[in-house]
Amino acid sequence: MTKTKLLLASLASAIALAGCATTSDRSGADGLYAQPIGGAPVTTNPTPYSEALVCLANYARANGLQSPRIAVGRLSDYTGRASSDGTGAAVTQGASLMAISAFAKAGIRLVERFDTSVSELELRYANNALIGEEDGGQRQIYAASLPGSDYHLVGGITELNYNIRSNGIDVLGGDRFDSDPTGLFNRRAWVMNIGLDLRLNDTRTMETVDVISYQKQIIGREISAGLFAFWDEAVIDISGGGRSLEPVQLAVRSVIERAVLEISAQLYGIDPTAACTYSDPIGGSTNVSGGINASTAYGSRETSNVQARQTVDHGHERRDANINSYLRGRYN
């Protein structure tokens, strides 16, 4: 065996030895055979619109603005897509929870309608005289003790389009002699998107008073490089690279928070750009030009919002010249 082969064999053995993980780095006497790696701290989970939602809540609180009560219903996944590895759905099934969190950031008054199982069970127990109070008495059930919702939000995730555009480049370079080094470089980029359709309904009349549809594109990148060469009597093949994809579920949260920001501004009756400064590629006050009267139902107008927004130009601050006279189909 030549020195080169001996050197490479020793190197390979050392790498293999270092890569072999033992079953335990502890004695196991306390029931723990391994110490988990990691330890990253818990952090917040914001989107580009989270700060604007909080700012809107602070503005409403400082000016004594109160919103109607909102209930969030099921925001389902209607894409029908499953993950490529077969581990489950491709997009989050918790869109409703994201919407509830977004409304809470905006300071909107919420009533629980998404999961009422515990409350219903407690009421049933109380009705059967099974729940007592701290003073030893029976919990009483009073008529009209539960506040109702004024509006409720429903809808769902309606689009998940993979690879709506992709591009890449492959470069292979080397000498025409097989014994000379050869280099390889690859780069890939692709774009996908998700879409969301939400509607706000008047709880009393079941009239759909607002409809919002947004989409967000998601980018991914991949890059790799390698070197192949002969070294004396040995062969060297080295490669490396990386892949990154914008989080799909964070994109869903971003779209929901953008929609909730628009709805919350309507409910407070204010223009969000007048209260907060934030970066929004579609325009900070899109479809908003003064808000609504919170004491008046959305539906108490002759023209519905759907009829007035027959094109994407309606309610768009950059393309609709009549935005100052419209509020999603309502004359000011």
Instruction: Note the pLDDT tens digit of each residue in 170-187.
Output: 888 877 666 678 888 899
In SS3 terms, 36-80 reads as CCCCCCCCCCCCCCHHHHHHHHHHHHHCCCCCCCEEEEEEEECCC
Q: Radius of gyration (Cα) for the chain, nearest Å?
A: 29
Residue 1 clears pLDDT 60, i.e. is over it: no
Q: What percent of the chain lies above the pLDDT cut of 70?
A: 75
For residues 127-133, give the mean pLDDT.
90
To which residue do tokens 């072999």 refer? 20
Q: What is the mean pLDDT of the chain?
A: 79
For residues 196-209, give the mean pLDDT.
91
Phi and psi at 222, nearest 5°, equal: -145, 135
If you ran DSSP here, which 8-state letter would residue 85 be given? Answer: T
Asked whether the beta carbons of 102 and 62 are under 8 A apart, the reply is no
Residue 191 clears pLDDT 90, i.e. is over it: yes
Reported pTM:
0.74
Residue 289 clears pLDDT 60, i.e. is over it: no
Cα(267)–Cα(60) distance, rounded to whole angstroms?
Answer: 11
Q: How far is CA 276 from each of CA 71, 86, 265, 313, rounded to the nearest angstrom?
A: 25, 43, 11, 24
When pLDDT is cut at 50, 70 and 90, the band that residue 312 belongs to is: very low
Higher pLDDT, 288 or 203: 203
Amino acid sitting at position 5: K
**Secondary structure E strands in the chain:** 70-77, 151-174, 182-202, 208-231, 234-245, 326-327, 330-331
For residues 143-158, give the mean pLDDT.
93
- In the chain the first and final C-alpha atoms are separated, in Å, by 90
Q: Which of 82-91, 121-130, 251-260, 275-284 comes out lowest in average pLDDT? A: 275-284
| Helix (H), strand (E) at residue 95 | helix 95-105
Q: Can you give the pLDDT at residue 184?
A: 85
Instruction: Note the pLDDT tens digit of each residue in 92-116.
Output: 999 999 999 999 999 999 999 999 9
Class for the domain spanning 45-134+146-331: alpha beta
